[in-house]
Every structure is written in C-alpha cells, then in structure tokens.
A and B are shown apart, each in its own frame.
Chain A
C-alpha cells in the first residue's frame, strides 16, 4: 500500500478533500441522529395495544328525534349488534383507545385532597368489554351484569369496582403490581373503589402521553344521545360487517344518525400519522443527503482524475498496473472517507447531546455509529469506483503524448 505518498500528495491539494470529508461528517451526524429519531418513533408505534385490532371497529350514534330514548336505543342496539352473525361481541363506551379523545382521572392509594393522584385513562364499559377488546385478564374477574349501572348525566358518584392495567397497578403499587387486586384505591380524592381485576395490557387515548398504558375500566352504561359502540368481529369479517352494521343501526331507529364508522386499523393509522410522516421525511432527507454526498465524492474524484491524467499515464509507464491505479484512487477516497466518518462520529455524538438537551430525544444506540461509519465508507468506495475505473483506463501512452 502506498498510503504515505497518497496522503502527502493529498495534503498539497487539501481543500477539496477537506470539504468532502466535512460533508461526509455532517451527513453522518444528521443521518445517525435521524435514524435514532426514526427508531424512537417506530418503537413508539410498535407498542402493542393489547386489543384484537384487526377485527375491531367503532361507530357513533347520535339521536336527534324529540322522542329519542337513549337507554332503550342503546339496549336495543347492543342486543341487535351481539345477535348479528359474524359479530363476536360489542359494547357501548365513552372513548376508543388511540383515538385522541377520551377521559382521564387520578387515582391514589390513600384518601385526601392533598395527595396527587396518578393519571389514568378511563373507559366506561360493561361486562362485554373484555371480550370485545380482546384483552387478557390476568388476575381477578370480569364485571358481572349486576355490576353495570347507568351513569347519571351529571354526577360525582363512582361505582365501587374497577379493572386496571398492570401498568396502572404497578404505578400505584410499585413493589408488587399484582398486590393491587382487592385493594381499595381512591378516585376524586376520597371516593373508595376496589380493584377487582387486572389486565395485562391496554392503551389509553393519547399515544404521546406518558400514562398511555395506564388504563382503568369503570362499569357503567352511558345514557347519552351521542354515543359510540366498539364492535369485534370474527377474524376477517370486519370489512364485510361494517356496512351491514351501519345499515342495521340506521334502519332500526330513524330518530338518530350513525356516523364516524372507523376500523381500529384506521384509528391507529391516524394516531401515528405525524410519526409516520416524520419517518418518511427523515428517510427522504437521509437519502437526499447521501445522494448529494455521493455526487460530491464522484465530482471530487472525477476532477482529480482529470487533473492527473498525465500523472496517471506516467505512473503506468513507470510500471503501475491498471489495478494499481484503481487502488490509488480507491485508497485516496478511503482516507478522505475515514477522516470524514471519524470526524462524523464525534459530530454525531455532539449533535445527539444537543438534541437530548434541547428536544428531550433519547440517546442514540451505540451500534449506529460504527454501522454508519461502515455504510458511509462503503458508499464512498462505491461512489469513487466509476472515476477510479476511468483513471485505470487512462492509456500509458498519455505519458509521452500530452504536454
């Protein structure tokens, strides 16, 4: 290898090399941090909801007629829905996981207004909810039909039972989450409520909330004109059933309209729309940066091959094989790229520290730095291959033929 003379020759024309090395460094810093952000977003998106997502959909019913009777309509609707072939189960609720709108309350293990409760997402449900969600009850028991009461329109009163997620139980009882079962916790500072069941996993309404996985289920039917149902179908039946359900509800009661029918998949897609487009934008940015950097490398190498045509011919006359010429330019690029990625590693970490401090981002995974170094070195070698091959095909006669 002739790294010594290549290096010394490069030092005589360093501007181009330095600019490309800097470009590689900046590309790497942005690339790695962008990938880290993408990883964080996709980790966020891939958190399991605990639901049987692909077979769930929701529909809203809004009564408008003067003689509209909420309680009767809801009872009739639920009976009709549960009787439909292909429907596994259905229930009425106040909010849908991941939908962006919902309720939250605070729970505390001791009564008292001076104590700060732990925030929790709240769903009103009946005894059909666990089966409809498809969640896994790991301790205690489901609500029984007798637990379910109609909630008053304006009230401070809470039923005596609740089912919590493990995440919520863990926050309330950090030493042993499962010990929450049977315990009394307090809502509205002082109202006691007993934990009668624990479910493995479920999500609240707001994906970016840090209490996203803290959920409580409260046994109540809601005498609301404007209400929604969550419906679970047999696997693969959802798309077929959705229009049927819509039609059935519209037909059975002319005193209301049905609207906002959405599948759980659609709700998830909307919930993470920002994250998905962020990932797309960052992917595009990385691709663009890498492309520009590759072009820069091609440009610099082409320029340096053209400038050194005569020198290449002379080297050939002095005994360089084609491969030796190819290797010369590949090595030159490797040195530049190595400088670039080494500087890039420092810059990447610097930028990451800055991002952690200013945007509360997470630390980049350690392997991203060496991986990006290798990838960029590879891209550099690939980019320089064309110009280097052109250099290697410069005929030796150039040594005597050009002035």
Chain B
C-alpha cells in the first residue's frame, strides 16, 4: 500500500536546517493498522504529512499504491488525497461555518459527485458514526468526541483506501477517546489501511503494528517494536 525508502525531510528556516526525517524507510501493507509513536519533535507529523501528500519530501522514494508520487502536479496530488486518503486531525478541523452535512460534503464536492450520490454517502457515513440525526447542527453544537466522529465520517465518505490520523484522540478525554478508537478499529476491520500517530501507549496497542520514530528515523531499523516495549517506553 505504502512504501517509503530513504526518505529525508529537511526544513530550512534561514540558515537553520532541521532534519525532520532522515533515511526514513517503511512499508505498510494493505489492511494494516499501524500506530506511530515517538517523542515530541521526532518527526511523526512530518511522516504523516509526507505520507498524505501534504508536504513534499527532500530526498528518497515514496510509492503509494504502487505509484511513485514524488513528482505529482498540484492537481494530481489533490486528486490522490481526495480519492485515496482520509485525514483525521487532532483538532478535528471541521469548518465552523458549515453544518455537519456540509462538512462531510466538502471532499465529495471536490470529487465531483452529483447531488444524489453525495447525499446518499453523507447520510450513510453520518449513520455509521451515529450522528445522522444532527446533520443540520453546527460543529460548535457538538462535544469534542462527536466532532471527531464527524471528522471521521468526512474522511470515510470518499471511501479511502488509506486513513491517516494525527493524534485523533489528543484533544479528547479518555472515555470519548475510547469511543473514537473503537470507530477507527472498526473502519480498519472493514478493510481500510490505517496509520495513526498517538502519544498514548494504550491506544497504540489497539493497532496491529507499531512504528516508533526517534529523531527522524524508525527506531529498531524498520522492525516492528513489540507492543510491550512501547507500553513501557
């Protein structure tokens, strides 16, 4: 599904160079549920951004779904994001001025679906996350957990092959976090590949594989870290 070889990412701010990723290599299989852990500043978000074509990397090779994505045009990479990838963010990133229906509608419009198709999909995914009855509500009228469910619905509506989540439970209390995690697990069980950054070792355990990043590299040389180690790290 995803194959990164010797990816490096250097941020330049004036004379200062930050090596956010160095010789980063990773393979993710179709259907995997990968948790990504690591200390703050280790490069987790950078990795996720590159994986999701939100940022271009400095060096290395990245194939997504068998396609080299290093030199896609803006239009092409936008289409890949729109069709293949679902994003879930720590702070939900719902559009505050739009109701739930319109929020979930955003990626579907970029996809160019007709109104019927969009309506059907929106209702289905909002049903899936248990918020179909609140379609006309604004994000601000929901709890954090509910907002994240809407965000997940929005990510799901396009039926992506890959879902990328950056600390999806980071802004939620543990009870709401668990609910969201169950939803994510279920999505994975239905076949969507998931890569999820988390700080919480307990939540990381719910994945079937963990990647630990230290200082811009996969620690233990691209080998799965036994979950017990992560838990005590």
Instruction: Using A397-B49, A400-B49 as known contacts, say yes or no to A318 and B87 having CB atoms under 8 A apart.
Output: yes
Binding site for B on A (CB under 8 A): 2, 4-5, 8-10, 12-13, 310-311, 314-324, 395-397, 399-401, 403
Q: Tell me what chain A mostly uses at the interface: helix, strand, loop, or mixed.
A: helix
Do residues B54 and A396 form an inter-chain contact, with CB atoms below 8 A? Answer: yes
Do residues B89 and A321 form an inter-chain contact, with CB atoms below 8 A? Answer: no
Which residues of chain A are near B110, meaning CB under 8 Å?
A: 315, 318-321, 324
**Distance, CA A396 to CA B50, complexed state (A):** 11
**Distance, CA A9 to CA B105, complexed state (A):** 13
Do residues A319 and B111 form an inter-chain contact, with CB atoms below 8 A? Answer: yes
Do residues B97 and A8 form an inter-chain contact, with CB atoms below 8 A? Answer: yes
Which residues of chain A are near B17, meaning CB under 8 Å?
A: none
Q: What are the 9 closest A-B residue pairs judged by CB atoms, nearest first?
A: A319-B82, A9-B97, A319-B110, A318-B107, A12-B97, A314-B93, A396-B54, A321-B78, A397-B54
Nearest B residue to A1, CB-CB? B109
Which residues of chain A are near B82, meaning CB under 8 Å?
A: 318-319
Nearest A residue to B106, CB-CB? A318
Do residues B95 and A314 form an inter-chain contact, with CB atoms below 8 A? Answer: yes
Which residues of chain B are near A315, meaning CB under 8 Å?
A: 95, 106, 110
Say yes or no for B75: interface residue by CB 8 A criterion: yes
Chain B: interface size category: 35 or more
Which residues of chain B are near A12, meaning CB under 8 Å?
A: 96-97, 138
Binding site for A on B (CB under 8 A): 45, 48-49, 52-55, 74-75, 78-79, 81-83, 87, 89-91, 93, 95-99, 102, 105-107, 109-111, 138, 154, 158, 166
**Distance, CA A396 to CA B80, complexed state (A):** 13
Do residues A321 and B166 form an inter-chain contact, with CB atoms below 8 A? Answer: no
Some 21 contacts from A to B, beta carbons below 8 A apart, are A5-B105, A314-B89, A315-B95, A316-B78, A317-B52, A317-B81, A318-B81, A318-B82, A318-B107, A318-B154, A319-B107, A319-B111, A320-B110, A321-B75, A322-B74, A395-B54, A399-B54, A399-B87, A399-B89, A400-B90, A401-B45
Do residues A319 and B75 form an inter-chain contact, with CB atoms below 8 A? Answer: no
Nearest A residue to B110, CB-CB? A319
Given contacts A396-B54, A397-B49, 7 further A-B contacts (CB under 8 A): A2-B109, A13-B97, A317-B93, A318-B154, A320-B78, A396-B81, A401-B49
